[in-house]
Amino acid sequence: MPLIKVGAVEKNYDVLPEGKYEVFVDKFDDVQVVDGIEVSRIMFTIRKDVDSVNGGRKVFTNIKSSDNFAWLVNGLSKAVGIPVDSAYETLSDFLNDIKGKTLVVKVRHKPNPKDATKPYVNITDFFPTTKGAVSLAKADTEII
């Protein structure tokens, strides 16, 4: 179990187990342009109303307008129900449109070359939810 210590505060945490999780798009970092490439990080929160073991935990993925950009945008769009022929001017527009939407993510572990005991948590796929939407107005996960 990894340990984080900041000053006198210590926090033990478990690596999120591999599997499928009902999540909602909680937030994202402001889009930055680095060497002409738009970059951001999308934070997902595991729903408390459908997952009692890991509900409330966070998982994120980086998104860049290069690398696996098309895979991420198409996977997320399909999972949250955005029509196929939709178009967005910027990555920020897309991210604002998916904020608060619910979906299922598949989490797998990726080897950490620096420390084999602490794998990277990696989102490998996106699926539509069958559990309905989440109201963000209260405590992150009230079902509507």
Residue in 24, 42, 144 with CA at minimum distance from that of residue 92: 42
Q: At what angle do helices 69-80 and 91-98 cross, to 10 degrees?
A: 30
23 C-beta neighbours (distance < 10 Å), count: 28
User: What pTM, to 2 d.p., does this model score?
Assistant: 0.81
- Where helices occur in the chain by DSSP H, the ranges are 69-80, 91-98
Residue 31, SS3? coil
pLDDT at 51 over 70: no
CA distance 70 to 85: 14
Nearest to 90 by CA among 42, 139, 31: 31
Rounded Cα gap, residues 44 and 21, in angstroms: 10
CA 16 to chain centre: 13
Q: Give residue-wise pLDDT tens across range 60-116.
A: 999 988 877 888 899 999 999 999 889 999 899 999 999 999 999 999 999 988 888
Q: Look over the chain and give the mean of its residue pLDDT values, rounded to a whole number.
A: 85
CATH number of 3-143: 2.40.50
Residue 42 confidence (pLDDT) above 60:
yes
| More confidently predicted of 57 and 5 | 57
Q: How confident is the model at residue 52 (pLDDT cuts 50, 70, 90)?
A: low
Distance of CA 7 to the CA centre of its chain: 29
Length of the chain: 144
